[in-house]
Chain A
Amino acid sequence: MSQTTTVVAEGPSRAPWYLRLPVIADLRRSVGLQRGMLIVGLVLTALLVLTAIFAPLIAPYGFAASAADGVGFGTQQAPNPTNHWGTTVAGYDVLSRVVWGARTAVLTIITSVTMSFVIGVLLGLVSGYVGGWFDRICTMITDAVYAFPSLLLAIVLSIVISGGQSSAAGGIMSAAISITVVYVPQYFRVIRAETVRLKAEPFVEAARVTGVPVRRTLFGHILRNATRTLPLIFTLNASESILTLAGLGFIGFGIEPSSAAEWGYDLNRSMTDVTSGMWWTAIFPGLAIVLSVLGITLMGESMNDLNDPRLRRRRAPKKTRAAAPAARAAEPGAPARAEAPTGSASSGPAGDGPEGPARAADDTDDTKEA
């Protein structure tokens, strides 16, 4: 999640630098429920990252250990002093696998977020700036990919990348690349829309006229002004990575248990346990997924609310019924892929491109107003 901190801060300008770091600045100006959500999100995310880093220290056993000191754990054991969270059908320690699973999840997040960010932003910048047929083709392809069920795409890609069954690196990469393919359109849409908008701004024109190299215009003038909504997409991207990794694992395209611990795979193995009433093999990895996604989503969502003046609550709240004319736009940052980051390009929560039906909503409002 280190990516979120790279975004240029817009915090209070006179505070010392460490208070202006994005997350901290957000925290400082938050109140009430938003602050609660942000704190819970931060804590959960920190927990995930720390668990991932210190997995070897926290986990009592290795992720593929089925015995300690020469004594086997036994299979499907209920929680007991040796195995605090019980053992799986294959005789692994559930606690250890859940802890090690954090590492797999975090690695997947980092890989996929980095890749989709780089590719999506580059494509979006170039496509928006260059325009013409290149832009049209890019938009068309990304739109097509965007409409496709991400899990299916992930399945196809994991077949391509790892032939369906995989080592740790292969599994992580196939999940990460699948997420990348699914998420590139989202970065692309947002950045492209912003680029198209900024391209016509006087300062970009000025840069062009004075002969600033295109590359510098793109990154210095446009990109730096187009990053407002990126933190939200980062978090959506991250949580979607966890969910897709788990989904792939659950369907049986996960990482082999001997090469890494993966929550989705463990859930898949626990299906038969559940039928016979054994709860511990399913509950713990499942909760790990829920808490990780919850933490990241809460964080992204509350930071996004804070960055939107229409949704932010002031420190000394005067009870007014929201800024009426602006409230049309709604609460952004819905977590689901379908309505998410594009909502930032347009105002509609419907998450459509500028030409999409989101317009209908605004249109309705306008005519009603007129």
Chain B
Amino acid sequence: MSHTEEPDPDEAVAADVAEAVADAETSTGESARSSVPVATAKGAGEKRRRGGLSRYIITRFLLIFPTIFILVTVVFFLMRVTGDPITAALGGRLTPDQLAQRVHEAGYDRPILIQYLDYLGGLVRGDFGTTYTDNMPVLSVLKQYGSATLELVLFSLVISLLIGLPLGRLAAAKRDKWQDAVLRIFAILAYATPVFFLGLLLKLVFAVKLGWLPVSGRISASGEGTMGRLLNPSPFYLVDAIRLGNGPLIVDVLRHAVLPSVALGLLNGGVFLRLVRTNVIGTIDRQYVESARSRGVPERRLVTKHAMRPALIPIITVMGMQIALMLGGAVLTETTFEWRGLGFMLAQYMTARDYVAVQGIVMLMAVIVALANFIVDVIAALIDPRVRY
């Protein structure tokens, strides 16, 4: 979605041709992964660079809206294809007359286009609808449970970076050796294992059999009591625990967080590992690395500094795209560990057949993903001036 900035079509074609030629020269022509971007960047980069950072950010910011609009439209009409949410939730439990009355009250018997415009208007005002089962505005569901999801995602991001960066570097440094083979297989396994199965396994081993860590939840009951005494709680348990300066409480929060974040973190850790390996391998054969080597820079430093730095940019970009994957994973992880976040609530509402809530949360996540991608793109542009155009 961050790449809708289609350049001039002719230019793109020209670039593609140039690339095709270049590609035929460099590889045997059989290469599946042709290097499209090189030519595009070289030819067009000069021209666009003048655009400047602020202009790039503004363009990029404006692009959020069509993305959200498309998603909202798709989701809205899909959800209405089946009928109205009230019939879905209560159908069979009420007489047709009662049902019709409820439907009328909620306005679901109006023409679909009116409902759509109404919904869009609501979104613009920040109204994502009201859940049907417990009559809560979706936005306050976000306020109440979003932080838990954010906390989980942040924890698991830390874990996946802890896994991905060093191991990816190791795999690149030991390319084609046994360490590399083991790590590659580990990465594939991390991808092949569904996050909820991994979660169940971790639970089985570390919580049930060994009893080292709690089975589920974000905090123990006593911890919750302590936390309740805080007058102005922040949304994050860990922050609150640190603010209270309560050692056991911090440990309690962290102990609850370990298993879910490891489960979610491993999934992404595998992706990061491959990404780091790939990019470091791509940079380690560069001439500047070679010249550093000839100056006697130790091999270790070559990998951690010289080859690593330029490899980080694509990694940051992909991290942005990972956010979508992580949100999906968070839904499953939260369900596995009864971590009361957005994903857990989404699953609850789904079980209750509260499709207004489901639709609201899904839309909300669409907005979050779009915003997150925007932020990541801006960060990437700040780090690497060549991204701008």
Task: Name A residues whose Cβ lies closer than 8 Å to a Cβ of B.
Answer: 10, 33, 37, 131, 135-136, 139-141, 143-152, 155-157, 159-160, 163-164, 193, 196-197, 199-201, 228-229, 232, 239, 243, 246-247, 250-253, 264, 267, 270-271, 274-277, 279, 282-283, 286, 289-290, 293-294, 297-298, 301, 304, 307-310, 321-322, 324-332, 334-339, 343-369
A-B contacts counted at CB < 8 A amount to 361
Complex Cα–Cα for A149 and B192 (A): 18
Contact B365 A149 (CB under 8 A): yes
Contact B37 A362 (CB under 8 A): yes
**Which A residue sits closest to B330, measured CB to CB?**
A149
Known interface pairs A131-B9, A294-B189, A360-B317; 4 further A-B residue pairs with C-beta atoms within 8 A, sorted by A's residue number: A147-B324, A327-B285, A344-B33, A346-B36
Question: B346 to chain A: closest CB distance in Å?
Answer: 8
Complex Cα–Cα for A298 and B40 (A): 33
**Which A residue sits closest to B19, measured CB to CB?**
A197
Interface string of B331-364 (1 = CB under 8 A from A): 1100110000000001100110101001100100
Contact A354 B313 (CB under 8 A): no
Contact B196 A335 (CB under 8 A): no
Contact A351 B41 (CB under 8 A): no
B4 at interface (Cβ–Cβ under 8 A)?
yes
Complex Cα–Cα for A339 and B78 (A): 27
**B321 cross-chain contacts in A, Cβ below 8 A:** 147, 338-339, 350-351
**A348 cross-chain contacts in B, Cβ below 8 A:** 37, 314
Going nearest first, the 8 A-B pairs with the smallest beta carbon separation are A359-B37, A151-B328, A286-B197, A147-B1, A347-B35, A330-B278, A149-B328, A293-B192
**Which A residue sits closest to B69, measured CB to CB?**
A144
Instruction: Tell me what chain B mostly uses at the interface: helix, strand, loop, or mixed.
Output: helix
Question: A56 to chain B: closest CB distance in Å?
Answer: 26
Complex Cα–Cα for A129 and B279 (A): 33
**A346 cross-chain contacts in B, Cβ below 8 A:** 33, 35-37
**A326 cross-chain contacts in B, Cβ below 8 A:** 26-27, 31
Contact B6 A355 (CB under 8 A): yes
Contact A152 B362 (CB under 8 A): yes
Question: A306 to chain B: closest CB distance in Å?
Answer: 10
Contact B204 A143 (CB under 8 A): no
User: 6 A-B Cβ contacts within 8 A?
Assistant: A131-B9, A358-B37, A359-B387, A364-B310, A368-B286, A369-B286
B377 at interface (Cβ–Cβ under 8 A)?
yes
A355 touching B278 in the complex, CB below 8 Å, given contacts A250-B196, A274-B208: no
**Which B residue sits closest to A350, measured CB to CB?**
B314
Complex Cα–Cα for A243 and B198 (A): 13
Contact A308 B31 (CB under 8 A): yes
Contact B200 A286 (CB under 8 A): yes
Question: A64 to chain B: closest CB distance in Å?
Answer: 22
**B288 cross-chain contacts in A, Cβ below 8 A:** 368
Contact B82 A351 (CB under 8 A): no
B42 at interface (Cβ–Cβ under 8 A)?
yes
